[in-house]
Amino acid sequence: MPKNTKYRAKEPDENGFIDYDPQEDAVWRDLVARQQPSVERLAAAVFLEGQKQLDLPKDRVPQCVEVSQKLQGLTGWKVAPVPALIGFKQFFRMLSEQTFPAASFIRSREDFDYIEEPDIFHEIYGHTPLLADARFARFSQVIGETGLNCDKSDYAWLIRLYWFTVEFGLIREDGAIKALGSGLASSPEELEHAIHAPSVERKPFDVMDILRTPYRIDINQPIYFVLEDVAQLTEIQNRDLLGDIRKARDLGLHAPTYPAKQT
């Protein structure tokens, strides 16, 4: 996550609604129109089913309150608008309370193709379809609960498990690799890259391997982890994740497979 942003949060009114202007609605409309055909080809069935259940508007920015009404009926979750950047502690607390923090602004036309910080297109279009599935919803809550019990120094280790599953996870369906992660679903370039790029290493899902794998947020990932079944996320609920983190720290990080970021 970037340390600063040029974007400012949009504040909801007393009923929880945010006033998005016609230009912002048009950005949402055009983002959906560009992304949806690729998602229908490359996204996992669980993501597509979540889209169907939520039936998000295609021509305007959705309101968190209306998305929450649907999610609460499906998995008990809700979506709450937040500033562009929040800390790990707040993020984990909200997940533990079955609340997904959604940055309330939408990217400008200038950043149409890529925005480093998450905006409401990434949050709502990318994340909420997975939260419509009880298994992903519970996995996200477990990440939050674990984060609340972590030492601050463990946050970066735990978030890798979220990064390589909810954000950039892959899954095998009928012998084919499909995209699960919200970061993939909301990124036209990386969605194709993750599924088709010959340079990508697609590794079997393994918690310890994931905890030890460094990443950069500003490049297409060189490594992805592939679930064989969503049930593998359910199994994580019974793991001692704090113990896993301690073991991963003792073993240390794998050597990065990406170039160092230029400063």
Q: What is the pLDDT of residue 5?
A: 75
In a domain, 134, yes or no: yes
Q: Are 130 and 50 in contact (CB under 8 A)?
A: yes
Domain that holds residue 168: 22-250
Mean pLDDT of successive 10-residue segments in the chain (263 residues)?
72 95 98 98 98 98 98 98 88 98 95 90 97 97 97 97 98 97 95 97 98 95 97 91 97 94 71
Looking at residue 95, what is its pLDDT? 98
Q: Is 127 annotated as a binding residue?
A: yes
**Residue from 107, 105, 148, 127 nearest 50 by CA:** 127
The whole-number pLDDT of residue 3 equals 53
> Would you say residue 178 lies in a domain?
yes
CATH code, 223: 1.10.800.10
Which pLDDT score is estimated for 116? 84
Q: Is residue 228 part of a domain?
A: yes
Query: Does 3 map to a domain?
Result: no
- Domain assignment present for 39: yes
The reply to whether 69 falls in a domain is yes
- Any binding-site annotation on 116? no
pLDDT given for residue 90 in this prediction? 96
The type of residue at 52 is K
Whether 213 maps to a domain, the answer reads: yes
Cα(240)–Cα(152) distance, integer angstroms: 18
Domain total of the chain: 1
Q: Is the pTM of this model over 0.85?
A: yes
The pLDDT of residue 1 is 41
Residue 9 lies in a domain: no
